[in-house]
Amino acid sequence: MIEAVVFDLDGTLLNTLDDIRDVVNGVLRLNGMSEKSTDEVKSAVGRGVEELVRKLIPADRAAADFIVTISDQIRTTYLEESTVKTRPYPGIPELLNSLKEMGMPMAVLTNKPQDSADRAVNHYFNDIPFLAVSGVSHGGPMKPSIEAVIPVLEKLGTLSENTMMVGDSDIDMDTAVNAGMLAAGVSWGFRDVTLLKNHGAHHIINHPKEIIELLGSGLTSEHFVCLLI
């Protein structure tokens, strides 16, 4: 039986793309670089700020120290301006409240900086009793490493095979597969459904209420492995 649910944050619980784009473009302008489109920023998010910067800045400016400088500027600015356009996806507040009423243990696992993750969860979901909100600290492990998952599972008090990972990216699906969790990909986020399937998604969720339906069906790890998608 599924005993706990771990959620990704950006692209899964929150549509953060417009705020990320605006912050990134503000920093790029400040440093004499051209702005990026929403799609360009969308394709670059998910593997931490430094990787986002590497994908977006010109190759001739991609020296290691410059990447650190730009990344730090993005972190600082985003922490101040991250709740301007960001909103929960439709159905997410209702889903989280239903899981809360069920007494389902929940956690957030994201490659967002820890300070920004804490702020986002406190701002948008302050009444949801997440047992862990795990972002990235300097030098700490990131998804899809299993080292990023272990502390979250410990706080949830569940085994990986009894835990559902809900996310919108290949990184989330890789994380679930690496840790032996049940991988549920969402169709409303930042990545294509085909990519999620190719990275091991056991099931595709098209609306948040379907998560409640899955949990109510008495889903087990054996059922999950056998799902046809």
Q: Give burial (CB, 10 Å; 0-12/13-18/19+) of 14.
A: buried
Q: Which of 8, 10, 19, 22 is catalytic?
A: 8
Whole-angstrom Cα distance, residue 36 to residue 115?
25
Does residue 173 contact residue 196 with C-beta atoms inside 8 Å?
yes
Whole-angstrom Cα distance, residue 58 to residue 137?
26
Q: What's CA 80's distance to the chain center, in Å? A: 20
The token pair that represents 87 in the structure block:
């909103």
Q: Please provide the DSSP assignment of 158-223 as one string.
A: --GGGEEEEESSHHHHHHHHHHT-EEEEETTSSS-HHHHHHTT-SEEESSTHHHHHHHHTT--HHH
The token pair that represents 203 in the structure block:
């099931």
* Residue 8 bears catalytic tag: yes
Active site residues: 8
